[in-house]
């Protein structure tokens, strides 16, 4: 049986990249960037004034000039004025304006006194060259990458793309995802429920998490424990969707038809079972067209945990997202459990006296206790190579979306 890390690697090794497509900038929020955005010109494209004041030559100040005559006003959006060669020349400038030609510093208004067109510097004011100036090309040169591929696009990336004229971005196509629950005991939320039945929750939870993670094209399905129905509907689902998530029917029971049904549809099993709790029966395979199929355990906590541990990272990988460094936290209380299974333990996050992230274990009552996850922030993964984890043990952390 695979360890969680081995299962994660096996999945990523079999995830084919999603297709690329071009997307208008105004529709790009939340998409995954697949091609670098480069500066179309120097940034900033000119020497930019950063304070309201007067543009001067520092050399004449150093030579003793303290009084200047205003030759004009330079506002943002105006073409650059040219400072005349006379020693006492200056130009009134506004924040964001192009620095007038010949000037090399800006004296802020509050460091001067003004009488008509005559400006006098306050005692001791002697700005260095470059003062209150944002130099051309000091941020980025033309052609430099300003937004690297592999990022999910937020307002920050959109602002930068807009500033360099990138009206269209190359992004990952959004995959169509099917979430399929199985079992005769399941009924929809608003249906009448018998004493022998339970309401569907896994597909609602999985769909909501997928959307929150940036995968909005999700549809839900319910298959009863009838081999003929599973065979017929599963064929259509596998043909139509880019990724398929099944919950239930993957254990060893008499009515756990999914592994055999998937094999009959030509889905190749990559692995079945991970040495972890919850979620030991987790199954993964690929179709002949390289579409991923994830079969999650039917217990709600198991399904939700496996979704975050394996499925969401796999979909992000296929979208081209550069994987972040593992997030680490320290245990706030000791934990003891019996191997040989890794423990995916729900926790609440807090901080310690040195601003370190602390994880307080908050396990659910059972793997069917979805309500037990309310109030938790995510889970830590404790390996199966030991039984005792004292306070301060550093563990890998996975956040719920």
pLDDT of res. 228 = 83
Helix crossing, 312-319 with 202-212: angle to 10°?
Answer: 40
Q: In this predicted model, what pLDDT tens digit does every residue of 86-134 receive, in sequence order?
A: 999 999 999 999 999 999 999 999 999 999 999 999 999 999 999 999 9
Q: What is the CATH number of domain 327-399?
A: 2.40.340.10
Rounded CA separation 313/339 (Å): 25
Among 3.10.20.30, 3.30.70.20, 3.90.105.10, 3.40.50.360, what is the CATH number of 20-43+139-172? Answer: 3.90.105.10
pLDDT of residue 254: 53
Strand partners, 113: 120
Q: How far apart are CA 169 and CA 35, in angstroms?
A: 8
DSSP E strand boundaries for 109-247: 112-115, 118-121, 133-134, 145-147, 168-172, 177-182, 186-187, 198-199, 218-223, 243-247
Structure tokens belonging to residue 357 = 């992230």
Quick check: bond before 340 cis, omega within 30?
yes
Q: What is the pLDDT of residue 311?
A: 98
Average pLDDT for residues 21-35, to the nearest whole number?
Answer: 98
The 10s digit of each residue's pLDDT in 243-296 is 999 998 766 555 467 888 899 999 999 999 999 999 999 999 999 999 999 999
| Residues 6+ away with beta carbon under 8 Å from 87 | 57, 60, 63, 65
**Domains in the chain: boundaries:** 4-18+174-319, 20-43+139-172, 48-134, 327-399
User: 288 and 14 in contact (C-beta within 8 Å)?
Assistant: no
Sequence-distant (6+) residues with CB within 8 A of 356 are 330
Higher pLDDT, 226 or 306: 306
- For 331-390, what is each residue's pLDDT tens digit? 999 999 987 999 999 999 999 999 999 999 999 887 778 889 999 999 999 999 999 999
CATH of domain 48-134: 2.170.190.11
pTM for the full predicted model:
0.90
Which pLDDT belongs to residue 250?
Answer: 67
| pLDDT at residue 224, rounded to an integer | 85
Are the C-beta atoms of residues 90 and 70 closer than 8 Å to each other? yes
**Across 200-217, average pLDDT:** 96
Mean pLDDT of 29-36: 98
Straight-line distance from the first to the last Cα atom of the chain, in angstroms, rounded to the nearest whole number = 28
Q: Is the peptide bond before 44 cis (omega within 30 degrees of 0)?
A: yes
Predicted confidence (pLDDT) per residue in 140-190, tens digit? 999 999 999 999 999 999 999 999 999 999 999 999 999 999 888 888 888
The rounded distance, in Å, linking the Cα atoms of 28 and 31 is: 5
What does the block give as tokens for 41? 């010109």
Whether residue 72 has pLDDT greater than 80: yes
Q: Do domains 20-43+139-172 and 48-134 have the same CATH topology?
A: no
Q: What is the pLDDT of residue 251?
A: 62
Phi, psi of 378 (to 5 degrees): 170, -155
4-18+174-319: CATH topology is Molybdenum Cofactor Biosythetic Enzyme; Chain A (3.40.980)
Task: Tell me the three state secondary structure of residue 110.
Answer: helix
- pLDDT (average), residues 51-66: 97
The reported pLDDT for the residue numbered 221 is 95
> Rounded CA gap, 82 and 324, in Å?
49
The distance from CA 128 to its chain's CA centroid, rounded to whole angstroms, is: 42
Axis-axis angle for helices 312-319, 4-13 (nearest 10): 30
Mean pLDDT, rounded, for 203-222:
97
Measured distance CA(133)–CA(98) in Å, rounded: 9
């Amino acid at each position: 049986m695979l360890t969680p890390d081995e299962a994660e690697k096996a999945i990523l090794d079999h995830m084919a990249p999603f297709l690329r497509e071009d997307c208008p900038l105004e529709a790009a929020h939340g998409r995954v960037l697949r091609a670098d955005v480069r500066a179309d010109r120097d940034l900033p494209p000119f020497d930019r004034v950063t304070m309201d004041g007067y543009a001067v030559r520092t050399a004449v100040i150093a030579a003793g000039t303290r009084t200047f005559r205003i030759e004009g006003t330079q506002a943002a959006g105006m073409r650059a004025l040219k400072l005349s060669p006379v020693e006492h020349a200056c130009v009134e400038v506004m924040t964001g304006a192009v620095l007038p030609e010949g000037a090399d510093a800006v004296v802020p208004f509050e460091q001067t006194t003004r009488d008509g067109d005559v400006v006098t510097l306050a005692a001791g004011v002697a700005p260095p060259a470059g003062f209150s100036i944002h130099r051309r090309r000091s941020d980025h040169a033309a052609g430099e990458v300003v937004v690297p591929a592999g990022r999910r696009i937020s307002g920050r990336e959109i602002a930068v793309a807009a500033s360099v004229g990138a009206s269209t971005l190359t992004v990952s196509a959004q995959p169509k995802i099917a979430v399929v629950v199985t079992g005769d005991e399941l009924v929809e939320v608003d249906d009448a429920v018998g004493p022998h039945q339970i309401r569907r929750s896994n597909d609602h939870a999985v769909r909501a998490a997928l959307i929150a993670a940036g995968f909005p094209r999700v549809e839900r399905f319910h298959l009863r424990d009838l081999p003929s129905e599973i065979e017929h509907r599963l064929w259509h689902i596998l043909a139509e969707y880019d990724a398929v998530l099944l919950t239930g029917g993957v254990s060893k029971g008499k009515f756990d038809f999914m592994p055999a049904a998937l094999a009959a549809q030509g889905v190749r099993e990559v692995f079945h079972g991970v040495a972890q709790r919850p979620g030991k029966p987790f199954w993964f395979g690929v179709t002949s067209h390289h579409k991923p199929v994830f079969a999650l355990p039917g217990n709600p906590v198991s399904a939700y945990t496996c979704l975050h541990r394996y499925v969401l990272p796999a979909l992000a990988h296929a979208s081209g997202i550069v994987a972040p460094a593992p997030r680490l936290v320290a245990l706030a209380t000791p934990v003891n459990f019996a191997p040989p299974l890794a423990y995916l333990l729900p926790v609440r996050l807090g901080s310690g006296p040195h601003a370190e992230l602390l994880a307080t274990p908050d396990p659910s009552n059972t793997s069917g206790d979805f309500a037990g996850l309310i109030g938790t922030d995510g889970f830590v993964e404790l390996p199966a190579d030991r039984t005792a984890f004292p306070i301060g043990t550093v563990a890998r952390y996975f956040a719920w979306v």
